[in-house]
Amino acid sequence: MKGIYRMNKNVKNGINIFLFLLPGLALFIGVLIAPIFMSFRYSLHDMSLLDPLSKENFIGLKNYVKLFTSGSIPFPKALLNSLLLAALSVFIQLPLSLGLALLLGKGMKGERGFLSVFFMPVLISTIIIGQLWLKIYNPDYGLLTRALWALHILPEGKLIQWLGDEKIALASAFVPILWQYVGYHMLLMYAGVKGVSVDLREAAMLDGATDGQINRYIVIPSIKPIIKVSVIFAVTGSLKSYDLIKVLTDGGPFHATEVPTTVMINQLILRNKAGMGSTIAVMLIVLCFFFAMVINRAFRRED
């Protein structure tokens, strides 16, 4: 009898929990899951932005094949560019952020001021950052060209099309992206570094450990979960990057700086191809999940 009563109580608790979770769950399904399924459904159709879904325009997985085989859709190049940005983020941006976090986390004069300065680009609107860098890169009066002239690195009068030359446009577009988020990752890691026990540091110092050894054997292993989050953000953020590229080059010149999102907008909005645009959206979601899982697994294996 007592057992049945306890079971009834558990069932009732379960129902209560379910009822409380229901609104959130409905929101999650409605805002996140349903659009993904809808996008997948659209991706199986050859349809315009203004067309309704119909059996007539169902083409199965042809959009996915076309994405990698059609010469007129620069998706493979865009994907490679994104992966390159992801690699640069992981191997240049994050080590830089980690270095700054370790330096500031150790405690130094003007720590707060440095933190604010490094974090400032994150607070400024990306459109403003884009406009700022457009001025820096301007071939006629841009700060960069003028500085190179002044330092005699570039012969005076010689102009460089930082964003107009397809050989260097990609690198030029990536620099502001990497620069903007150094402060963001630095702040995440800085919080972790500050959380490392002072006792541990002091014990290591008593044992004669140098700053480098303390960072290597104590601080970095302690903030590994934060580094993992930063790596996931950096990689998925690279795959999703759009705003700065849009302002700086809009994917040009001659598709040299295309990223998957610019190709998606081109297909979806400019060409009205809802089917192909949705295919790219689904590919992006799949790739983001895939990389997040790979990074998770890599860190787990290391643990």
Taking the complex as a whole, the smallest distance from the CB of residue 270 to another protein amounts, in Å, to 5
171 binds another protein (CB under 8 A): no
130/243 Cα distance (integer angstroms): 8
What is the length of the chain?
303
The verdict on 139 binding another protein (CB under 8 A) reads yes
Q: Is 205 left (phi over 0), alpha (psi -120 to 50) or beta?
A: alpha
Q: Is 122 helix (H, G, I), strand (E, B) or coil?
A: helix
What is d(CA 268, CA 283) in angstroms, rounded to the nearest whole number?
14
Instruction: Choose between 6 and 12: whose C-beta lies nearer to another protein.
Output: 12
At residue 48, the 3 state secondary structure works out as strand
Q: At what angle do helices 111-123 and 169-195 cross, to 10 degrees?
A: 140
In the complex, the smallest distance separating the C-beta of residue 200 from another protein, rounded to whole angstroms, is: 44
Q: Does 272 bind another protein (CB under 8 A)?
A: yes
Q: Which is nearer to another protein, 36 or 270 (CB)?
A: 270
Least spacing, CB of residue 282 vs another protein, in Å: 17
Nearer to another protein, 254 or 289 (CB): 254
Residue 227 or 256 having the CB closest to another protein: 256
Segment holding 93, helix H or strand E: none
Determine how many CB atoms are found less than 10 A away from the CB of residue 112.
8
The residues in 226-245 that bind another protein, with binding defined as CB under 8 A, are: none
Give 22's strand partners.
none
Q: Shortest Cβ distance from residue 255 to another protein (Å)?
A: 8
* Of 44, 38, 37, 46, nearest in space to 273 by CA: 46
Does 270 bind another protein (CB under 8 A)? Our answer is yes
* Smallest distance from another protein to CB 49, Å: 5
Does the protein bind another protein through residue 271 (CB under 8 A)?
A: yes
> Where in 6-25 is the site for another protein (CB under 8 A)?
12, 16, 19-20, 22-23
Lookup: tokens for 62: 């042809």
Segment contacting another protein by CB under 8 A, of 56-64, 82-90, 187-195, 266-274: 266-274
Which of 104, 263 has the CB closer to another protein?
Answer: 263
Region label for 161, one of left (φ > 0), alpha (ψ between -120 and 50) or beta (otherwise):
beta
Q: Which residues bind another protein (CB under 8 A)?
A: 12, 16, 19-20, 22-23, 26, 48-51, 72, 137-140, 159, 161-166, 169, 249-250, 252-254, 265-266, 269-274
